[in-house]
Each structure stands twice: as C-alpha cells, then as structure tokens.
Amino acid sequence: MSENTVRPMEAIVDSRLPETGIGDVAIARFKANGDVDVAVILLDTFCLGVKDAFSIKSTVLDYEDRLRARVVPEAYRKDIDPACARKLIEGGIAYAQKLGFQPHPDYKKASRIVEKAPATGCATEYKYGKDGKPLYFQGPHDSDQKAERIVALLRKNCGEGNFHFIIGVRENPDFFEAGDE
C-alpha cells in the first residue's frame, strides 16, 4: 500500500457474541488525513439490541496500538466485513424494537459511522434471541428497577412463557409470579 492510499473501513466483533448474546462490535473508518472514526457498539443480540454505544476520533497509531485491544481483547477479536457488522447491528436494533426496546441514546452519534459501512454485500444470516425466544440477562450496570421495567415490557409485548430472563438476587421476591422462569 502506498503512503497516499487510504485504508478502507474495517470492523471487529467479539467472537463470543453468538454464544453469549452480548459483546462489542466496532467499525472503523479510515480518513485521508490519518484519522480514524470509530463506532463501538455494545450489542445484545438476545434481547435489548444496542445497550451502549460511543464514537471516537483517533489516530491510526492509537487505534491500532490501544483502542482495538480495549474494545475487544485480541483472544476474542474477530475481523468481519464492515457490511456484516452493519447488518448485525441493524438486525439487533430491529429485533429489539419488535420487543419494545430502543437503541441506547448514544447510538445516534455512533450510527453516523455505522451508516458509512456498505448496506449490502453481507450474505451471513444472523440469529437474534436465544432458542427462538428473547432472553434478558440483567447486566452488572442494570439496576433492579431497570430489570423490573424490562421484564414487565417483555411480559406485555411477548406474553407469559414467550421469553426468558436471568436476574440477580431480588429485594422484592413478589416481583416473581407463579410460572416465571
């Protein structure tokens, strides 16, 4: 590659995402001035879609030396086509919206980079949900109140028995009704 050639976009994903249902997806857009615009999406493919997002402008050197490793550790980093990263993210958003969830508010800014990736050209088919149903897993930063709101929305939009959830120890045991998993 000559000095004046601008690298195309690249994307990385946490290779554990299909099994765990949650992981980071990053899309980097290289610019002629030596900067890199990076969108990092914490994607929940089992239920919530975009749980968190941010975008950052970086130098190529900083991106390659530090940022990539911070987003997805090398042992779990998988390079994917940017079109597939976009398809994976947008599919997660669409799945979550059917369940009643919107992307994290910071996705709006990060989506400007995601939308620079090709919209077509990915033959991979992605699956959302776990074993054919939504699965909400209470994350370490999800308060008990937030978990209650999410499960209530799943009850409303999916119906009893049509979703799964895993939450931490509850202060309010009456939250669980007979038949809840």
pLDDT along the chain (181 residues), means of 10: 64 96 96 94 98 95 86 90 98 98 97 95 96 94 93 96 83 45 41
Query: What per-residue confidence (pLDDT) applies to 180?
Result: 45
User: Do 140 and 110 share a structural domain?
Assistant: no
- Number of compact structural domains in the chain: 2
Identify whether the C-beta of residue 44 lies closer than 8 Å to the C-beta of residue 22: yes
Q: Three-class SS of residue 23? A: strand
Residues spanned by the domain of 67: 10-114
Q: Read off the amino acid at residue 114.
A: V
Identify whether the C-beta of residue 78 lies closer than 8 Å to the C-beta of residue 124: no
pTM of the complete model: 0.87
Identify whether the C-beta of residue 73 lies closer than 8 Å to the C-beta of residue 53: no
User: Do 146 and 100 share a structural domain?
Assistant: no
Whole-angstrom distance, CA of residue 15 vs CA of residue 8: 22
Q: Does residue 76 form part of some domain?
A: yes
Q: Does residue 128 form part of some domain?
A: no
Size (the chain), residues: 181
User: Do 110 and 42 share a structural domain?
Assistant: yes
Query: What per-residue confidence (pLDDT) applies to 5?
Result: 54
Whole-angstrom distance, CA of residue 43 vs CA of residue 80: 15
Query: What per-residue confidence (pLDDT) applies to 71?
Result: 85
What residues have CB less than 8 Å from 41, skipping those under 6 apart? 24, 25, 26, 50, 52, 53, 89, 107, 110, 114
Q: Does residue 5 form part of some domain?
A: no
Query: What per-residue confidence (pLDDT) applies to 178?
Result: 40
User: Do 168 and 88 share a structural domain?
Assistant: no
